Structures are given as C-alpha cells and as structure tokens.
C-alpha cells in the first residue's frame, strides 16, 4: 500500500476453478450404526453375515467393501433371520408374524421376492438339506413354507403334544399335574443331525420326536420333578413338595444324534437318550448335578418356617438357548470332544455372561451281553457311557459388560448340524443402557481344544491352540490383567466398522491429515496378527472414472475416536484405499475405513493396576475420556479424563521392556512405564498427570513428543 513501486498484477490462476459445475460437495458415504440389534445369521459357505434390527433394517456384511442393507416393507422389528443355503435366499420373520424372502442371486442389493402372513410364530427352522421352512406356531402346530415354489406349503404337522395328552387321558393314565393349555405351545423345531426324516419338536410341556413322512409320534420326553426334588429353583422353592413340570425353553441335539439337551424355564438342563424316554440321563443346572433326585438330608435340614419367611427367591434365569458343537479334531471317526454353549441359567446378581461346557467324546465299545438291555430302554452300559460323556471336563464363561440377549456361532464352512459344526467365532448381542450391539470373540475358549481356529484378514486359518492354558480347569474370564499383560481369555475379533463403533460407544472423534512418512509409520503392520471374522461373501468394485485416478494424490487421513468403553481407536480413512487393485476385476482390497487395531489404546491396563488406579479421582466404572490429543510424528497420544487426569501414551518401541517402577521428584507426574499393554498393541502407557488442579481446560502435544 505504501510502496513507491507500482503494484505488480499477478496472473489469476484460479479461473478454471470458478465454474460451479466443477464442484459437487456432498456426502461421500453415510454409516448407519445399528444400536438396536435383535437377531443374527451367518451363511457359512460364502461367509456372509446378516444382522436384523428393531427398526426393520437388515444389515449385510461380506468381504472388503461389501456392505448392504435391506428395508422391510414396514419399519418393524426383525424377530428371526436365517439364510437358505440350498436356494440362495435370506429369510426374515418380523414381529407381526410376516415371513419375507429375499434373493441373493441378483447383483447389487438383495431382491425382495415374496411375503406371507402366519399365525403367531415362536421359531423358524431352515436346513441346508430341506427346501421347506418349518415354523413353530403358538397354537402348537408346525406350518411350512416352500422355498422352491415361494409360497405356503400344504404340508403341516398337527399339535402332537395335544394328541399325546388326549391319548394319555383316553388310556386312563392319571395325570400328576393339572391341565395347562400353555404346555401345548410349540417352542422350537430341530432336525435330527443323522436322519433327515426325524424331527424334534419342543413344546412347553416336553419334547416330541416325530417322523416327517408319517407325521406320527415316535417318542415323548416329559420331565416331571417328584416332590422333594430341587430342580432348577432349589430347595427353597415354595412348591418343592409337589409334582412339577418345568416348561421347555430350548433344545439342542448331540452331533452323534444319540442324545439331546433340553433347557427349561427353571434354569435346569435335562439330557435325554433318544432311545429312552422313560427318564433323563442327567438333569443339572450350571452349578449342580442331578437336581431331579431327592436329597433327604438337605430336605430334612430345610426349615419350613425359614422358607415361609423368604419373600423373594434368587431363582435362576431360564435356559434361553443351547448350541451343541463338534469338531474335526478326533482320530476316531465317531467323533471327539464337544462343546455346549448355554445362554441363561445364571443366578441374578452374578456378572453377565455366557457359559460353555467342554464334554468328553462319546465313543463306547460294544456292550456286554449280560445283563440284557431292557425292552423299552437302552442298555445300562450305554446309559452309563452317555452319562460319563455329559460330565464337563472344563467350563468357561464369556464375561460381558451387558446382558447377553442372543448368540451365534460361526462355523468354518459347513452349514449342517444346525450351523454349529466346527465354529471358529461367537457373536454376542449384548444390551447396555437400552443399546443392543454385537461383540465377537474367538471360539472355542483358549485351552479347550487343539483345532484350527480363526480366519484372519491376511491368511485363511491359523492354529491358535493356547498351550499355556492346556491344563487349566477353569479358565479366567476374557480380560487383560495388568501389569503382567498375560492374556487369560479368548481374543476379541475385529468386526465391520459399523458394528465396532456401535459396541465401543463413540463419544467423539477427529479426522487428521498425515503426510506420507507419518502415515507409513502409523500403518506399519505389527508382527502380531489381529484376528477378524473372516467374512468373504460378495464382491465390491471400485469406480474406474478419470476422477478416481486423482485419489492417489490426496492426503492420507486417520480417524481417532474416544469411546464409552474407555478405549481410543484408530481407523484409516485414506481415499487411497478406494483405488482398484492391479487385476482386471478392479476389486476393493480393503475396508473403508480400515481398522488399525495395533494402535488401539485401552485404559483397562491402567485401571487394573492397583498402584495407578488409586490415584484416579473417578471410580473404575465412571472413567470418561474427555479429549484425545495426538502428536503424529512422535506417535504419542495425550488423553484428558473428565476427572482431571492427563494420561500420555507413546510407542511401545520407545518403552523399556521390563522397567522397574520409578518415582520422580515432581509428585504431579507418575510414571506408568511399568504397565505392560496387551500383546500386539503398539501404544503403551508413559506417564500420568495427577488431577490436583481441577478439570483440564486445554491440552496440546508438541510434534516432537514429550
């Protein structure tokens, strides 16, 4: 302005950028995070995962980039969801008992085919060997739907439990229990694993084995507790001196097909031999055996007056779901060890979770000829062998932060045996503060079996047998104990982006731009492989427009989120991930965003260290991350807590391996180098600023680190 020299006019280089047609500012992609998950389904051959929600949306996940949604005709809750492997359909039943069928054969989104309305339905069953869907109704009969003709089938099964009760009444056999119409409700339908013509129908009153061709009853399995038998309610039950018939709630068949497990509403599980409906092999709860047998000493010790004084009883939960799995790890062709996954049966007040029993193999030798087998029962030799195969060798509990509402086992590639053969992972629907999200873990638990386990993102399968826990009788819950850092539970598995941020509960985040050198240091692969669900279904293609070629010139971006579960997670949001590979198919090779699990920060390492946690102003359950500050070049992170502390993490490569606990002259700073993080994590605790000056107003890190 005050220069004596004339102002030099510079050439305008932005003329070509002034045309509004060259700009199209809009959302590139919107992520719908399901927080109302109601049901899960897996297609094990192609490994496609489907998730139903209470808002009427079905989320479908496959290989890298394969994400799709299905909207029901009306936005109502999805109750049941299954894949029809034989016909390439996905089947859904909503809360208004309407069955919806979608085709997976068309390119793009699954195509809606047909809907059909039924009477109130309690369960649906699909088999890879049948083209019909079996629907168990509230009235007790079994309806079917033909997936080849895509219409209701005329084939149906009448209420066999009502027919059984009518037959018993006509024969003059007195009933030990009063008539109850609810006992005739059909609860579940399970197909025999070795004979496709046999069907187990679970009614509230008991289990009926029927023949699909004849539609006739073969056997009826009814559990009646005699007076004095504790059952699942225990000796404190007010009706312990009467005959009781607990209601059936779930059913699972042993992979051999010789016996099965039925769960009941009083929290007990009855194991029955298929060829013997006179009495069960074993009745147990999660903690006690033979609860169908009277113990005179315990009954005599029970004071009637004490029982009357009790206003509330700690009754166990019903057994909501059972899944019986076998594995291809046995040299005996008849099978090896099995696992029974149990949802429910826990006592109120206990930590939330899911129980797993490891059973020995059932491979008996030839029964002796003396004594002979009873005419209407199995040989005592086989009965004893079955009982011995039902005594758990090991037990494990998947501890969770919320109530487990449902679970799903993910088999390697075989859809038979109800989809429970050789599972490598388990998905849990957990509810915390009305939000229902999905957690994923390794299955079976560490130390249970020596078998091929988890598919990873970079390799197909890896033998993950944990020799460290091979002799452990009762493995610890899945948690990381600081400062040892020794893994004591199953590995959590990486889930798709929408599911992972829903489970962790994102409080906030920031998108950062990185230069190439810093980006390379961020995304350097760790020597430890982080397991994932191994989904492979579908194909996602990149756009091959001329504009897409410019993506490689854009800056790399990293998303950093702070979460309710006291974790900090990192995701690669770089547009370069959307570039095609060098093949002609132009397939996407990475998810967008791509998770960076090696950088995940978990405050549990500090919170579980007694010396460090006592310095925090907030209690364990009330720790909240207020902000995250990143020094990208130094790979250091400063976390400010709502209670006023500042935690600084740095690269584990810059931390000593086994440092002693050191003290500084400055009492406001506490070193945390002695705390070892989980194996495979690149970030480790460095130091903490104590909250003696109130909440943190601002925080920043220098680019060169602390």
In a domain, 250, yes or no: yes
In a domain, 125, yes or no: no
Same domain flag for 278 and 392: yes
- In the prediction, which pLDDT does 549 show? 72
Element containing residue 381 per DSSP (H, E):
helix 380-388
Same domain flag for 365 and 243: yes
In a domain, 136, yes or no: no
Q: Computed from CA positions of residues 630, 531, 431, 311, in that sequence, does the dihedral angle turn out positive or negative?
A: negative
- In the prediction, which pLDDT does 23 show? 67
CA dihedral 230, 232, 234, 238 (to 10 degrees): -90
> Any long-range contacts for 102-105 (C-beta under 8 Å, 24+ apart)?
102/70, 104/48
Q: Are 536 and 46 in contact (CB under 8 A)?
A: yes
- In the prediction, which pLDDT does 159 show? 94
137: its two tokens = 């109704």
In a domain, 454, yes or no: no
Query: What pLDDT digit, counting tens, does each position of 676-695 carry?
Result: 777 778 888 989 988 777 78
Same domain flag for 536 and 397: no
What residue numbers bound the domain in which 619 lies? 601-689
Measure CA 279 to chain center: 34
Element containing residue 166 per DSSP (H, E):
helix 160-170
Q: Which of 598, 633, 653 is the C-terminal boundary of a domain?
A: 598
Same domain flag for 550 and 636: no
Q: Which of 551, 573, 598 is the C-terminal boundary of a domain?
A: 598
Q: 439-457 burial, b for 16+ CB within 10 Å, e for fewer?
A: bbbbbbbbbbbebbbbbbb
Same domain flag for 358 and 245: yes
In a domain, 609, yes or no: yes
Same domain flag for 632 and 571: no
SS3 track for 331-349: CCCCCCCEEEEEEECCCCC
Q: Which of 85, 117, 149 is the C-terminal boundary of a domain?
A: 117
Same domain flag for 591 and 650: no
Q: Is 546 exposed, middle or buried (0-12, 13-18, 19+ CB in 10 A)?
A: exposed
In a domain, 268, yes or no: yes
Pairwise CA distance, residues 490 & 488, whole Å: 7
pTM of the model: 0.87
Same domain flag for 392 and 533: no
Q: Residue 49 belongs to a domain with what CATH number?
A: 2.40.10.480
- In the prediction, which pLDDT does 136 show? 96
Residues in the chain: 706
Measure CA 187 to chain center: 22
Same domain flag for 675 and 656: yes
Same domain flag for 681 and 543: no
- In the prediction, which pLDDT does 486 show? 38
Low-confidence ranges of the chain (pLDDT < 70): 1-7, 15-24, 302-313, 373-376, 451-488, 525-528, 546-548, 581-585, 654-666, 706
In a domain, 206, yes or no: no
In a domain, 671, yes or no: yes
| Closest C-alpha to 203, from 249, 170, 157, 237 | 249
Pairwise CA distance, residues 261 & 257, whole Å: 11
Pairwise CA distance, residues 499 & 56, whole Å: 17
Same domain flag for 326 and 368: yes
Query: What pLDDT digit, counting tens, does each position of 559-596 carry?
Result: 999 999 899 999 999 988 888 766 656 788 888 899 99
Pairwise CA distance, residues 230 & 244, whole Å: 10
Domain count, the chain: 4
C-alpha Rg value of the chain to the nearest Å: 30
Instruction: Examine residue 483 and say whether the peptide bond preceding it is cis (omega within 30 degrees of 0).
Output: yes
Helices H / strands E in the chain, number of each? 8, 39
Please, where are the H alpha helices in 537-642? Answer: 604-607, 610-613
Residue 685, helix vs strand vs coil: strand
Pairwise CA distance, residues 490 & 63, whole Å: 23
Same domain flag for 579 and 659: no
């Amino acid at each position: 302005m005050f220069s004596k020299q004339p102002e030099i006019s510079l050439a305008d280089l932005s003329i070509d950028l002034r045309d509004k047609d060259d700009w199209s500012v809009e959302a590139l992609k919107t992520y719908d995070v399901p927080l109302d998950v109601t049901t899960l389904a897996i297609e094990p051959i192609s490994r496609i995962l489907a998730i139903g929600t209470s808002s009427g949306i079905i989320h479908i996940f496959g290989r890298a980039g394969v994400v799709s949604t299905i909207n029901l005709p009306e936005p109502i809750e999805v109750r049941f969801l299954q894949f029809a492997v034989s016909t390439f359909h996905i089947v859904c039943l909503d809360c208004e008992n309407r069955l919806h069928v979608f085709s997976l054969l068309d390119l793009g989104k699954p195509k809606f085919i047909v809907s059909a309305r039924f009477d109130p339905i309690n369960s649906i069953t699909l088999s890879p060997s049948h083209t019909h869907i079996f629907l168990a109704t509230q009235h007790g009969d079994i309806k079917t739907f033909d997936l080849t003709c895509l219409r209701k089938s005329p084939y149906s099964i009448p209420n066999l439990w009502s027919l059984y009760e009518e037959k018993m009444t006509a024969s003059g056999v007195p009933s030990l229990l009063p008539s109850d119409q609810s006992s005739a409700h059909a609860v579940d339908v399970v197909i025999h694993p070795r004979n496709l013509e046999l069907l187990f129908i679970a009614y509230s009153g008991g289990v009926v084995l029927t023949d699909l061709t004849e539609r006739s009853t073969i056997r009826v399995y009814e559990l009646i507790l005699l007076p004095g038998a504790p059952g699942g309610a225990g000796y404190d039950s007010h009706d312990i001196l009467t005959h009781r018939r607990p209601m059936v709630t779930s059913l699972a068949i042993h992979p051999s097909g010789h016996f099965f497990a039925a769960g009941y509403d009083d929290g007990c599980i009855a194991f029955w031999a298929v060829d013997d409906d006179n009495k069960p092999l074993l009745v147990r709860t999660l903690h006690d055996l033979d609860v169908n047998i009277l113990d005179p000493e315990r009954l005599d010790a029970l004071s009637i007056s004490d029982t009357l004084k009790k206003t509330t009883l700690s009754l166990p939960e019903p057994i909501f779901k059972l899944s019986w799995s076998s594995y291809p790890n046995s040299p005996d062709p008849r099978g090896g060890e099995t696992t029974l996954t149990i949802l429910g049966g826990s006592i109120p007040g206990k930590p939330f979770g899911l129980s797993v029993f490891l059973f020995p193999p059932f491979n008996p030798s030839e029964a002796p000829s003396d004594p002979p087998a009873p005419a209407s029962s199995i040989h005592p030799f086989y009965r004893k062998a079955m009982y011995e195969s039902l005594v758990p060798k090991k037990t494990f509990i998947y501890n969770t932060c919320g109530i487990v509402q449902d679970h799903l086992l993910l088999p390697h590639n075989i859809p038979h045996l109800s989809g429970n053969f050789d599972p490598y992972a388990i998905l849990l629907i957990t509810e915390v503060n009305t939000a229902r999200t999905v957690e994923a873990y390794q299955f079976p638990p560490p130390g249970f079996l020596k078998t091929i386990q988890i598919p990873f993102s970079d390799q197909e399968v890896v033998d993950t047998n944990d020799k460290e826990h091979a002799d452990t009788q009762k493995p610890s819950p899945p948690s990381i104990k600081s400062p040892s850092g020794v893994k004591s539970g199953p590995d959590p598995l990486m889930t798709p982006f929408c599911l992972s941020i829903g489970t962790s509960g994102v409080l906030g985040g920031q998108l950062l731009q990185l230069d190439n050198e810093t980006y390379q240091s961020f995304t350097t692969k760790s020597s430890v492989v982080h397991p994932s669900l191994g989904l492979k279904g579908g194909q996602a293609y990149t756009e091959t427009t001329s504009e897409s070629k410019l993506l490689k010139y854009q800056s790399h971006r990293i998303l950093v989120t702070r979460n309710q579960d006291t974790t900090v997670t990192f995701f690669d949001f770089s547009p370069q991930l959307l570039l095609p590979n060098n093949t002609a198919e132009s397939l996407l090779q990475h998810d967008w965003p791509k998770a960076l699990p090696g950088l995940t920060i978990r405050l549990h390492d500090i919170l579980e260290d007694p010396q460090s946690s006592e310095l925090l102003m907030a209690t364990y359950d009330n720790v909240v991350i207020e902000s995250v500050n990143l020094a990208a070049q130094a790979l250091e992170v400063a976390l400010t807590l709502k209670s006023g502390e500042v935690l600084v993490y740095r690269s584990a490569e810059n931390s000593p391996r086994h440092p002693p606990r050191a003290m500084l002259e400055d009492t406001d700073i506490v070193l945390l180098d002695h705390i070892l993080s989980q194996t495979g994590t690149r970030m480790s605790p460095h130091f903490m600023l104590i909250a003696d000056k109130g909440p943190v107003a601002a925080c920043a890190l220098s680019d060169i680190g602390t």
